Amino acid sequence: MAEFELDCLGEACPVPLMKTEKKLASLAAGDVLVVHIDHSCAMKNVPEWARKQGYNVEVEEVDDGEWDVIIEK
């Protein structure tokens, strides 16, 4: 039940999604990944992909134009 972070600030689509996919593959079930993003289309496609995989996803707006996507594997 470890928590991991992934810094995708300043990265444009589709890099945040590709990095999230890669990182999540190395995590164990129950682990939590927090992805930091500031690209609004990643705020749509990262949660969309993760929900399709059946993970629990929450999106939090932490600042103007900045989000944390919290994914539980």
Partner 1 sequence: MKQLWEKISKNRYYQMVFKNPFTYITGAVLLSIMQIALFAYSGNPWGVSGTFANWGAWLYQLFGGSVEKWFYFSSSGAQATLDAGILSHTGTMLNVGLIFGALLATLLASQFKFKKIKSLRQVVAAVLGGLLMGYGARLAGGCNIGALFSGVASLSLSGWVFAAFLLVGAFIGSKLLAKFFM
**Catalytic residue ranges:** 13
Pick the stretch among 27-35, 37-45, 50-58 that binds partner 1 (CB under 8 A).
37-45
In what helix (H) or strand (E) does residue 17 lie, and over which residues does it extend?
A: helix 15-25
Tokens 């749509």, located at residue: 44
The answer to whether the CB of 49 falls within 8 A of the CB of 5 is: no
Q: Which pair of tokens denotes residue 58?
A: 């929450």
**By rule CB under 8 A, what string of x and - marks binding of each residue 9-28 to partner 1?**
xxx--xx--xx--x------
Establish if 37 lies at the interface with partner 1 (CB under 8 A): no
Residues that bind partner 1 (CB under 8 A): 9-11, 14-15, 18-19, 22, 38-40, 43-44, 63-66
